[in-house]
Amino acid sequence: MPVPQETEVFVIGGGPAGLAAAIASRDKGLRVTVADWSRPPIEKPCGEGLMPDSLDALRQLGVTIGSEHCFPFSGIRFLAPGVSVSASFPSGCGLGMRRPVLHQLLADRAAETGVQFLWGARVSGISSEGVVVNGELVRSRWIVAADGQNSNVRRWADLDAFHTYKRRFGFRRHYRVTPWSDCVEIYWGSGFQFYITPVGPREVCTVLISRDRHLRIDQALEGCADLKKRLQSAVPASAEQGAVSLSCRFKQVVRGRVALIGDASGSVDAVTGEGMCLAFQQAVKLADGLAAGDLSMYAAGHRRLMRRPFFMADTMLLLDRFPGLRDRAIHALSANPAIFSTLLATHIGAGSPAAIVTSALPLGWQMLTAGGP
Ligand SMILES: Cc1cc2nc3c(=O)[nH]c(=O)nc-3n(C[C@H](O)[C@H](O)[C@H](O)COP(=O)(O)OP(=O)(O)OC[C@H]3O[C@@H](n4cnc5c(N)ncnc54)[C@H](O)[C@@H]3O)c2cc1C
């Protein structure tokens, strides 16, 4: 595809956020070009879980997922040595699906809406007129930076100042095994979590997350006997791949004609499973702002969207950092699973923040009285 001379919206990065922004902007009638130096389907280490709120956002973008592409799960289970608690989503289910499959579905939907693609194209700069792609200037009214957590565009636009920056390390490997649970399972170990998402009738995606950049899946499994037993006869179906998981919040996500989206605009720790959901929801808000010619609308919407996932990520990171608190919390939740259901509903945007406050009091009481491990 030749590089065009001009467009209305230039999206830098064709990952989930860039494609979602492109689809939502096309839906508003804007002319959109997306450039990415990779080509679809793009692979990336990921937990590969889509929570019900992610699926709602995908439906809004017109992306349909056939049952042949995914595997459903009905809730979340926390497991720590000797204790577990689970809750179902208040309605609907989540889906596990391989990342390249999701990427291809998004790329197909974007093509269907009339997005122009520059795959295999490198963006090397932005200017007051537009974007430099493969050394050529493309004039653009708007520039959308969807170039991921290490965004160059964010730096070029002087939007790098942040409020929060917490870093952990994720490692992902698939195993050929029949999913043993209808939940995404989160195993809490000493200084790490494993989360297991069913992604097919005979496959699970395993992600290890920790603050230790040297810790790998096989080593961590030695400290997680229950999961080790589940996986001991399963054949690995992919190589172990690592990625950095950031919890970071930037002071601003728009400047002039530039808007940040997806991981380029900030991210929540991977253990929340909310990264892509945020990107899809941001895309809809961004398109509203672009169509109205007012990016401040997007900045306000972005701030609102980030609040709840950040609160949940902070809570998870607190439990990661203080194992004693974590064990007491999981025991207390297990003694009162209704509170866990409320927290899960809130996590996926189906409960009110007030519900967290009303849950926190009995949970605190349980932690003091029900006893720890
Ligand atoms: C270990 C781990 C597990 C996770 N698990 C989940 C999960 O279960 N569920 C969930 O919802 N989220 C999960 N996430 C988060 C999710 O992966 C991210 O939120 C998501 O990838 C963000 O998408 P993005 O499009 O913003 O960025 P990316 O997916 O990073 O896409 C950025 C794109 O920009 C392109 N690019 C960059 N610079 C340029 C340039 N100069 N020119 C051209 N192209 C460029 C890259 O090639 C890339 O394709 C996980 C993250 C990690 C690290």
Phi and psi at 184, nearest 5°, equal -75, 125
CB of residue 269 inside a 6 A radius of ligand 1: no
Phi and psi at 362, nearest 5°, equal -60, -30
pLDDT score of 165: 87
Mutate which of 10, 34, 36, 199 to test ligand 1's pocket (most atoms within 8 Å of Cβ)? 36
Is residue 246 within 8 Å of residue 169, measured between CB atoms? no
Is residue 92 within 8 Å of residue 52, measured between CB atoms? yes
pLDDT score of 353: 65
Please name the residue that has the structure tokens 């509903």.
345
In angstroms, the CA 240 to CA 120 distance is 25
What is the 8-class DSSP label of residue 42?
P
**From atom 19 of ligand 1, which residue's Cα is the shortest distance away?**
275
pLDDT score of 361: 64
pLDDT score of 34: 98
- C-alpha 107 – ligand 1 centre gap (Å): 14
Ligand 1: atom nearest CA of 36 is: 44
CB of residue 42 inside a 6 A radius of ligand 1: yes
- C-alpha 86 – ligand 1 centre gap (Å): 28
Coarse DSSP helix, strand, coil percentages of the chain, rounded to the nearest 5 percent: 40, 30, 30
Burial class (CB in 10 A: 0-12, 13-18, 19+), 359: buried
Q: Look at the alpha carbons of 346, 192, 198, 101 in this order and tell me if their dihedral is positive or negative.
A: positive
Find out whether the peptide bond into 41 is cis, omega within 30 degrees of 0. Answer: yes
Please name the residue that has the structure tokens 């790998």.
216
pLDDT score of 300: 98
- C-alpha 44 – ligand 1 centre gap (Å): 7
pLDDT score of 48: 98
CB of residue 13 inside a 6 A radius of ligand 1: yes
Alpha helices in 129-188 (DSSP H): 152-156
In angstroms, the CA 164 to CA 322 distance is 19
Say whether 359 sits in a helix, a strand or coil: helix
DSSP codes of every residue in 10-31: EEE--SHHHHHHHHHHHHTT--
Is residue 209 within 8 Å of residue 269, measured between CB atoms? yes
The tokens describing 365, both together, are: 């009481």
The tokens describing 131, both together, are: 């974007």
Walk along the chain (373 residues) and give the pLDDT tens digit of each residue.
Answer: 788 899 999 999 999 999 999 999 999 999 999 999 999 999 999 999 999 999 999 999 999 999 999 999 999 999 999 999 999 999 999 999 999 999 999 999 999 999 999 999 999 999 999 999 999 999 999 999 999 999 999 999 999 999 888 999 999 999 999 999 999 999 999 999 999 999 999 999 999 999 999 999 999 999 999 999 999 999 999 999 999 999 999 999 999 999 999 999 999 999 999 999 999 999 999 999 999 999 999 999 999 999 999 998 999 999 999 999 999 999 999 999 999 999 899 889 887 767 666 666 666 666 666 554 4
Would residue 310 be called left, alpha or beta, if left means φ above 0 and alpha means ψ between -120 and 50 degrees?
alpha
pLDDT score of 24: 98
**From atom 38 of ligand 1, which residue's Cα is the shortest distance away?**
147
In angstroms, the CA 198 to CA 4 distance is 42
The tokens describing 204, both together, are: 């699970």
- Residues forming beta bridges with residue 200, ordered by sequence position: 203
- C-alpha 14 – ligand 1 centre gap (Å): 9
Mutate which of 122, 147, 302 to test ligand 1's pocket (most atoms within 8 Å of Cβ)? 147
